[in-house]
Amino acid sequence: MAKLDNLLTPRGDTMCDYLLKIQNITKKFPGVVALDDVSLYIKKGEIFGIVGENGAGKSTLMKILYGVYKNDSGQIFLDGKELKNLTPLIAQKMGMSIIFQEFNLLSTLSISENIFVNRLSFKNRIFVNWNVLNKRAEELLESIGYTMDVKRLVSSLSVAEKQMVEIAKALSFNAKLILMDEPSATLTNKELDKLFKVIETLKKQKITIIYISHKLDEIFQICDTTAIFRDGKVVDTKKTSLFTKNEIIQKMVGRTVENEYPARTKINFDEEVLRVNNLAIKNKINDISFSLKKGEILGIVGLVGSGRTELVRAIFGADKKISGDIFINGIKRSIKSPQDAINLKIALLTEDRRGQGLFINYSIEKNISSTIIKKISKRMFINTKLETIIAKKAISDLKIKCTSEKQTMLNLSGGNQQKVVLAKWLVSEPDIFIMDEPTRGIDVGAKYEIYVLMNSLTEKGKSIIFISSEIQEVLAISDRIIVLYGGKINGEFQREEIENDKIMKHAIGQ
Amino acid sequence: MNIKNNIKLYLNTIYRSYTMLLALIILIALASILSHSFLTVQNITNIFRQVSVMGCVALGMSFVIIGGSFDMSVGSTVSLTGILAISLQPIVGVFWAMAISLIVGVSIGLINGTIITSINGTQGDSFIITFGMLTVIQAVALIITKGFSVPGSNNKSYIFIGNGDIGVIPFSIILFVVSAIIMQIFITKTSHGRNIYYMGANSEVAKLIGIKVKFYKIITYMISGAMAAVAGFILTARVNGAAPKAGVNLEFEAVTAIVVGGIGLKGGEGTLVNTIIGVLIMGVISNAMNIIGISSQNQLVVKGIILIAAVCVDIRKKGIMGEG
Ligand SMILES: Nc1ncnc2c1ncn2[C@@H]1O[C@H](COP(=O)(O)OP(=O)(O)OP(=O)(O)O)[C@@H](O)[C@H]1O
Ligand SMILES: [Mg+2]
């Protein structure tokens, strides 16, 4: 404790060195202590990393700082002034902006409207000057490496694109303190590099950033100081360079993790379970053919906008295809709707958990059973006892942190919501499991367990199509990889040939 | 601390689900103080008798609202099916007259549902489309009757639906209660009911887990149409006669009852218990206003204000629970 104090308290420094002082914050929700006496001191112009397991309290702290939740006790000082009765509007006026972990975009509005929502009025003007706003929105997006028609509706964007809009929005406030709650969760390396460049520029302008991520490499790359959260408490804070990766993991999850990825034994795959021939989707996918073998993990790699998600959605029958044939176990099948796909024992875990994956106001239990409601019913009547048993088992198998299986999804942390999405498809026992960003927002320890789970699924003869923006994990656990670029397959690699650089080159179109 | 928190959570749940029940009890107490003729067996059966028509409409409409849409066409569906049931009796007999009316009610639902699902309509679209349907059916009812009332049935068993008693209990109340129980069991206990909830909560997510969203949407409208026809029977049997505008405003009264009862307008929330409580609240208010002698125009003002207030409460509740 004494050692910690040396690093934590502002002793010796002049008070004004700290832009943000968080002192003894406690926050309780029914049944959980989300934050337990948390104190952090954040310097002006610093990039301050926060890491911690799913449900450790990171997002809760961000929401308190931004006035979404009220702390039960403790104080917050910004520039030496105590913040009391904070609301998001006041926080904004005080010079803060935030990227929420779960997006807060209005899907029926355009990109630029979303970026400038609530701030459309100008001095001496009655009408909004859209030309100026659209141009500004374009510039903001371009600064993070993303060119896009800003008049497009947000509802038509992919998760990564929505993430970009959220980032642009947070940047548009010219805030002095930016809170970033897992901004990189769905970005690929290319977009991430751009984001880091922007962050470096902001740092030079003495803008302070709190950066939350489960990808520890990022933390080492950009954060000056890092705090580790565990069960609502700060277990350590120091200069990031003084940490080792293992030390962080150990302090996060309370045990050491030997390897980031489990070993994957090589098997010979012969039986073909899925074959896609000449698939095309309007404006997105151009003549794609590939196959998936029994027991195989097929990785799909590609930048944001390369058509990864569109490809699997079309296979699953969620989007229309222009042409293309799909063979399941050698038989040609017409998959016109998700229902057709599910009947053929195909599952699609969608990348957008809020919009497409979860009934956010329903309980964990009702979400998990949603895929098997017919199976757990007898003559129409739902066997609710069985429903509870299945939910309880999934909660303990995947270590979902919750107060009970009756807790509503809305009150779960982001990573735990993601685990429920995974659980609801696992209980349906598909033969072909398409996973689009299955580990989005999941902590280091739990990720490992998901990889183990994927291994054991394939050992049981299931096949997996695995999409992730985190190229390392695709490389580490896939048996074969196809690389998408601009709606086409631009390279295919067997496990032995997998190399990061080579694959990235194909992903950017070389 | 933990226990205290849990108790708080528990009390909160109770509070949420039973506020409207509490409101109903307070209303009844208030009405009994205002008028000693309120809390008599006769008046209570009277209230039930009065609400059974609107109640049946509200039960059917609840399915649609839980499924994430609106059905505003029910008012004139009640009129039309009532007219058919009465005027076809001399031609085809009671049984077939009722059967045909029921089929017409269900078909109106089928048409509503098919139009809405075929354009992938939103909740707002469903409001407008069924509103258009309300006008169309109203016109049909006026055309069939040339604007005149249809004199009542002389079939005893038909009149029994609206005026008969089993023991001391009016048959129309039994019909309402039995429908309510069956429908409540269907929507809360069966896989089909659950799928309607999933669809109402988020139809995109529902589609992606293989739920036949279009099918279920159409089904909810068909149920709503069928219940409107049942309401048409009760109404025409009670007053022994059908009029082309007999069902005017019923859709409004049903929505009011549903919202007052606490079924969220967004869909995927609440059960028919909410609907029944809402129906009874509205019934007690109407009855009390009748006893006190408030004119029917003024009663409409009161009901309109109640609807607006209930919607505001509904939206506020969402606002508080909403964004995280
Ligand atoms: N609105 C709420 N009501 C009840 N409990 C909540 C609420 N919000 C968060 N919690 C609980 O508080 C704890 C901390 O959640 P928080 O979202 O801060 O975690 P996190 O560190 O951001 O996790 P993740 O890495 O998964 O995003 C969790 O146990 C969560 O279930
Ligand atoms: Mg979080």
Backbone angles phi, psi at B169, to 5 degrees: -95, 130
Chain B hits for A318, Cβ within 8 Å: 207-208
pLDDT value, residue B54: 96
Nearest to B85 by CA among B230, B294, B289, B263: B230
Question: In one letter, which amino acid is B16?
Answer: R
Question: In one letter, which amino acid is B143?
Answer: I
- Alpha-carbon distance of A99 to A96, in angstroms, equals 11
Tell me: the pLDDT tens digits for B269-304?
Answer: 999 999 999 999 999 999 888 888 888 888 889 888
Q: Is the beta carbon of A309 within 6 A of some atom in ligand 1?
A: no
Q: What is each CA distance from A110 to A96, A156, A166, A256, B218, in whole angstroms?
A: 23, 10, 13, 46, 32
DSSP 8-state symbol, A129: -
* Residue that has been written with the tokens 């004119």 in this structure: B295
Tell me: the pLDDT tens digits for A357-397?
Answer: 999 999 999 999 999 999 999 999 999 999 999 999 999 99
A359 interfacial to chain B (CB closer than 8 Å): yes
Q: Tally A–B CB contacts below 8 A.
A: 82
Contact A54, A443 (CB under 8 A): yes
Based on its alpha-carbon atoms, the radius of gyration of chain A, rounded to whole angstroms, reads: 23
Contact A387, A343 (CB under 8 A): no
User: Chain B residue closest to A62 (CA)?
Assistant: B324
> Residue A482 Cα, ligand 1 centroid: separation in angstroms?
36
Nearest Cα of chain A lies from the Cα of B9 at a distance, in angstroms, of 6
Q: At a CB cut-off of 8 Å and minimum separation 6, what does A289 contact?
A: A275, A276, A277, A278, A279, A489
Nearest Cα of chain B lies from the Cα of A12 at a distance, in angstroms, of 38
- Alpha-carbon distance of A483 to B319, in angstroms, equals 44
Determine the 3-state secondary structure of B286 from DSSP.
helix
- Alpha-carbon distance of B162 to B233, in angstroms, equals 8
pLDDT value, residue B134: 97
> Residue A106 Cα, ligand 1 centroid: separation in angstroms?
23
Tell me: the pLDDT tens digits for A80-133?
Answer: 899 988 999 999 999 999 999 988 888 888 998 888 887 765 555 666 777 888
3-state helix, strand, coil in chain B (%, to 5): 80, 5, 20
A102 interfacial to chain B (CB closer than 8 Å): yes
pLDDT value, residue B9: 56
Question: Which helix (H) or strand (E) segment is B242 a member of?
Answer: strand B241-242
Tell me: the pLDDT tens digits for A428-456?
Answer: 999 999 999 999 999 998 999 999 999 99
With cut-offs at 50, 70 and 90, classify the pLDDT of residue A498: confident
Contact A191, A144 (CB under 8 A): yes
Tell me: the pLDDT tens digits for B176-204?
Answer: 999 999 999 999 999 999 999 999 999 99
Q: Is the beta carbon of A55 within 6 A of some atom in ligand 1?
A: yes
A88 interfacial to chain B (CB closer than 8 Å): no
Sign of CA dihedral A105, A470, A97, A148: negative
Six-digit token string for B269? 């929330």
> Residue A338 Cα, ligand 1 centroid: separation in angstroms?
31
- Alpha-carbon distance of A382 to B189, in angstroms, equals 6
* Residue that has been written with the tokens 């990061």 in this structure: A500
Q: Is the beta carbon of A413 within 6 A of some atom in ligand 1?
A: yes
Q: Beta-strand (E) ranges in A329-382?
A: 331-333, 346-349, 377-378, 381-382
B167 interfacial to chain A (CB closer than 8 Å): no
Q: Which domains does chain A have, with CATH numbers?
A: 18-87+209-254 (3.40.50.300), 272-345+430-507 (3.40.50.300)
Residue B189 to residue A356, Cβ atoms within 8 A: no
- Alpha-carbon distance of B278 to B248, in angstroms, equals 19
Residue A161 has pLDDT above 90, yes or no: no
Q: Which domains does chain B have, with CATH numbers?
A: 3-323 (1.10.3470)
Contact A105, A162 (CB under 8 A): yes
Q: Is the beta carbon of B322 within 6 A of some atom in ligand 1?
A: no
Mutation to probe ligand 1, out of A58, A60, A181, A408 (largest number of atoms < 8 A from CB): A60
Task: Please report which ligand is nearest the Cα atom of A443.
Answer: 1
Tell me: the pLDDT tens digits for A246-279?
Answer: 899 999 988 777 778 898 877 778 899 999 999 9
Q: Quote ipTM for the complex.
A: 0.89
Residue A31 to residue B6, Cβ atoms within 8 A: yes
Q: At a CB cut-off of 8 Å and minimum separation 6, what does A489 contact?
A: A288, A289, A290, A482, A483
B37 interfacial to chain A (CB closer than 8 Å): no
